[in-house]
Structure 1
Amino acid sequence: MALYLLVFGVCLLVIGAVLLILMTVGTPRYRTEPHDLLALFDKALESKVSETEWNAIIGYPIRHDEYLDSVRRRAAHLMDSYGRHWQIARSKPLLNQEGYTELKALRDHLAAHTALRQR
């Protein structure tokens, strides 16, 4: 009987500790910031971005900043219009030449907007 109570007490203690930890730990949050988009655009312009990385950042809505979300939507539209999904595996550019030019302009616009905002 003593062994039963000891095992029951240890299990109760472990389960209680796990529940306490789970109740006090907050939900992790990920916020896409301008520097995240700029880094992604730089990697895309250098043809060093994977399609998975592109989709992970561009496919996630940005709810805390309407301007950043519009940039994200524009980048998604560029991928839909000018993307070359089948060429990424062969280390080819993510976008064709016209898409590359538009992405560079979008990147420069975001960099200028971010610089103005930080002043």
Structure 2
Amino acid sequence: MTIVITLCVSFAIFSLVIWGLMQMRTPRFRMERADFLRGLETVIVGQADENAWRMLISYPMRHDPALEALRLECLQIEDDEYTGKLPYLFTDTGLERLRDLRERLLALPSHDEPE
């Protein structure tokens, strides 16, 4: 009888642990337009280091196609104009292109509004 109770309690605990693990979700990083704008501005004014730049452009933004297009354009600007030197990570041309990109980001309709 003790073996049956032990097996039942063990099964219940094991089932509870498995259920708990199934309910857990992986953490997700989701950058919103305001976050992207702040990051872009810190790069433009020379307050960002390479790690901040990598955080800004490394994560795909599938939740916002317009923001994803701007991120991909940042990658192109990086390929063309990145110096990696502090305080400004980009050439003057690259900074100007980032300023233009910032203006287009500000001109985008709200993510809630239809485009």
Q: Structures share a fold, TM > 0.5?
A: yes
Match of residue 41 from structure 2: 42
Q: Write out per-residue CA displacement over residues 22-77 of structure 1, whole angstroms, 9 at most, x where no aligned residue.
A: 22112222222111210111110121112122112312211122211110011111
Distance in 2 of aligned mates of 1:36 and 1:22: 31
Please tell me whether the aligned partners of residues 61 and 69 of structure 1 are also in contact (alpha carbons under 8 angstroms).
Answer: yes
- TM-score normalised by length of structure 1: 0.73
Please tell me whether the aligned partners of residues 64 and 111 of structure 2 are also in contact (alpha carbons under 8 angstroms).
Answer: no
Unaligned 5+ segments in structure 1 are 1-5
Tell me whether 1:30 sits opposite 2:32 in the alignment. no
Which structure features the higher share of helix residues? 1
Please tell me whether the aligned partners of residues 59 and 76 of structure 1 are also in contact (alpha carbons under 8 angstroms).
Answer: no
Describe the shift of the 1:114–1:47 C-alpha distance in structure 2 as closer, same or farther (beyond 3 A): farther
% same residue: 27
Match of residue 92 from structure 1: 87
Unaligned 5+ segments in structure 2 are 1-5
- TM-score normalised by length of structure 2: 0.75
Say how many residue pairs are matched.
111
Please tell me whether the aligned partners of residues 49 and 87 of structure 2 are also in contact (alpha carbons under 8 angstroms).
Answer: no
